[in-house]
């Protein structure tokens, strides 16, 4: 057995890594890091430029063509700033936190397929255009995201200051609760694709991209991915008006830059997962078999992937340029009382439908009357549902005075209840 070959072909994975050597993996890993870092530089410029155009101003246009070197200049500025460490900081954790953030954000792209097998230039060699893939690749993405939260939590705690602590607590609650909704929306893709490996999910989208049949899950994913990355309108952890800048308040220079970098890489991560799971991955936006499938071969898929990736990134910026920040309680209510129940219900409905189709072999034609019937019943119920009447607590209570010593112990009256008039009321005070 060749020790340089890393793995046998894993069951349930479409991409074939059986010919992969360790050198190819190292090259790919380096390429991914380079891609992510340059993408972040581009993303910062892209965001500023697009938001500027939405606000009818030119945006950065001074450094380089179209202001493209602006983010490079910003990065230089950050590097040269004074590196502060707060006196009350827990030094080790304070330094560790931004590193955890960046490290975990770099992990995700390892399982994102940029394309099918790519020919190596000047050789007859082909290799899958992703670093690795395994049967639970998408769960690995969730795991990396949940580890990344540690960077935020520890950063806020280690700063030894109030605003960062509040920001990090908010951020953690937010990421954990939105990760639930996100995970549930991903489950419907697992059900349809029958796999959790990214390459298998992409190859299951030859007929139709999953965002059409799984539209509710797609909408939930898009909402929760914005919540997960702490972006507007969900950027409560760093809400400037309330928390200075949340968990990064006490960070400066390169340590701040790490957090900044992690945030933008996370945006790229969730966008790439969105593209891979819902938008057909690297597949060309044409019907399967168009031009004999020539658009899905060679290096072209990489272009489709990047176009889709930046389309999702545009949505991020668009949302930021359009919507206002939510209030924290509204945000949590939305996550727990709307997103998660809807996602759960959707998964149950989808599982039942899939079971009927695959196990009971019910055809689409038989489904239609059922769907129409359910819709009619639902609308009828909603139509005749009695409207909830707002009754303030204590309003419908009788006006009789309550017995304050009902159980043998004195109990204060509840709001709206009245005590009997005191026996001493109106009496003269004697003995003075």
Residue numbers at the binding site for another protein (CB under 8 A):
1, 3, 6, 8-13, 90, 92-93, 96, 134-136, 139-140, 142-143, 146-147, 149-150, 153-154, 157, 165, 168-169, 172, 176, 179, 195-196, 392-394, 414-415
Closer CB to another protein, 147 or 244, in the complex: 147
Taking the C-alpha atoms of residue 350 and residue 362, their distance in angstroms, rounded to an integer, is 14
Reported in sequence order, the residue ranges of 150-260 that DSSP labels E, i.e. its strands, are none
Q: How many residues does the chain have?
A: 432
Does residue 233 have a cis peptide bond before it, meaning omega lies within 30 degrees of 0? yes
Contacts of 232 (CB under 8 A, 6+ apart): 226, 319, 320, 323, 325
Are 157 and 37 spatial neighbours (Cβ–Cβ below 8 Å)? no
The tokens for 229 are 């990355």
Closer CB to another protein, 1 or 429, in the complex: 1
CA angle (83, 86, 90) in 5-degree steps: 110
Are 238 and 230 spatial neighbours (Cβ–Cβ below 8 Å)? yes
Closer CB to another protein, 8 or 432, in the complex: 8
Cross-strand bridge partners of residue 5 = 21
Cross-strand bridge partners of residue 128 = 117
Closer CB to another protein, 94 or 256, in the complex: 94
CB of 198 to another protein, least distance (A): 13
CB of 35 to another protein, least distance (A): 24
Closer CB to another protein, 4 or 30, in the complex: 4
CB of 147 to another protein, least distance (A): 6
Are 211 and 128 spatial neighbours (Cβ–Cβ below 8 Å)? no
CB of 173 to another protein, least distance (A): 8
How many C-beta neighbours within 10 Å does residue 128 have? 23
3 state SS of 126: strand
Closer CB to another protein, 121 or 392, in the complex: 392
3 state SS of 188: helix
CB of 297 to another protein, least distance (A): 27
Quote the longest CA-to-CA distance of the chain: 114
Provide the CA 295 distance to its chain's centre, in angstroms: 30
How many C-beta neighbours within 10 Å does residue 432 have? 4
Closer CB to another protein, 302 or 356, in the complex: 356
Closer CB to another protein, 179 or 297, in the complex: 179
Reported in sequence order, the residue ranges of 22-109 that DSSP labels E, i.e. its strands, are none
Closer CB to another protein, 146 or 252, in the complex: 146
The set of long-range contacts for 82-86, using a CB threshold of 8 Å and a minimum separation of 24, is 82/252, 82/253, 83/252, 83/253, 83/254, 83/255, 84/250, 84/252, 84/253, 86/159, 86/160, 86/161, 86/250
Closer CB to another protein, 50 or 184, in the complex: 184
Cross-strand bridge partners of residue 127 = 118
CB of 49 to another protein, least distance (A): 33
Closer CB to another protein, 195 or 266, in the complex: 195
Are 229 and 263 spatial neighbours (Cβ–Cβ below 8 Å)? yes
CB of 36 to another protein, least distance (A): 21
**Cα–Cα separations (whole angstroms), residue 116 to 30, 33, 124, 200:** 19, 20, 15, 11
CB of 303 to another protein, least distance (A): 31
Cα–Cα nearest to 220, from 352, 340, 349, 353: 340
CB of 121 to another protein, least distance (A): 28
CB of 392 to another protein, least distance (A): 4
């Amino acid at each position: 057995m060749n020790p340089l070959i890393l793995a046998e072909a894993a069951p349930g994975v479409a991409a074939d890594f059986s010919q992969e050597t360790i050198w190819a993996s190292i090259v790919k890993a380096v390429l991914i890091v380079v891609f992510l870092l340059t993408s972040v530089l581009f993303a910062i410029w892209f965001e500023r430029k697009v938001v500027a155009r939405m606000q009818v101003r030119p945006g950065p246009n001074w450094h380089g063509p179209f202001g493209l070197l602006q983010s490079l200049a910003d990065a230089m500025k950050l590097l040269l700033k004074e590196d502060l460490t707060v006196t009350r900081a827990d030094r080790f954790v304070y330094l560790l936190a931004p590193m955890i953030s960046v490290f975990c954000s770099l992990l995700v792209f390892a399982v994102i397929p940029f394309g099918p097998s790519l020919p190596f230039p000047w050789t007859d060699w082909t290799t899958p255009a992703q670093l690795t893939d395994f049967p639970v690749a998408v769960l690995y993405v969730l795991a990396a995201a949940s580890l990344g939260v540690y960077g935020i939590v520890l950063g806020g705690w280690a700063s030894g200051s109030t605003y960062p602590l509040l920001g990090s607590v908010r951020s953690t609650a937010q990421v954990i609760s939105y990760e639930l909704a996100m995970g549930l929306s991903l489950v419907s893709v697992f059900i349809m694709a029958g796999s959790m490996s990214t390459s298998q999910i992409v190859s299951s989208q030859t007929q139709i991209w999953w965002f059409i049949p799984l539209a509710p899950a797609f909408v939930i994913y898009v909402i929760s991915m914005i919540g997960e990355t702490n972006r507007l309108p969900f950027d409560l952890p760093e809400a400037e008006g309330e928390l200075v800048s949340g968990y990064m308040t006490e960070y400066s220079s390169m340590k701040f830059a790490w957090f900044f970098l992690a945030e933008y890489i996370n945006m790229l991560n969730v966008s790439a997962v969105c593209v891979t799971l819902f938008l057909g991955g690297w597949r060309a936006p044409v019907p399967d078999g168009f031009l004999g499938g020539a658009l899905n071969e060679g290096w072209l898929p990489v272009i489709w992937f990047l176009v889709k990736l930046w389309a999702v990134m545009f949505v991020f910026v668009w949302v930021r340029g359009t919507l206002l920040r939510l209030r924290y309680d509204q945000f949590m209510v939305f996550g727990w009382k709307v997103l998660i129940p809807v996602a759960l219900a959707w998964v149950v409905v989808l599982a039942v439908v899939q079971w009927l189709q695959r196990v009971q072999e019910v055809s689409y034609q038989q489904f239609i009357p059922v769907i129409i019937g359910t819709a009619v019943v639902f609308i009828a119920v909603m139509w005749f549902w009695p409207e909830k009447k707002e009754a303030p607590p204590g309003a419908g209570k009788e006006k009789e005075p309550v017995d304050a010593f009902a159980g043998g112990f004195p109990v204060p009256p509840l709001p709206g209840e009245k005590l009997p008039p005191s026996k001493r009321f109106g009496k003269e005070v004697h003995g003075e």
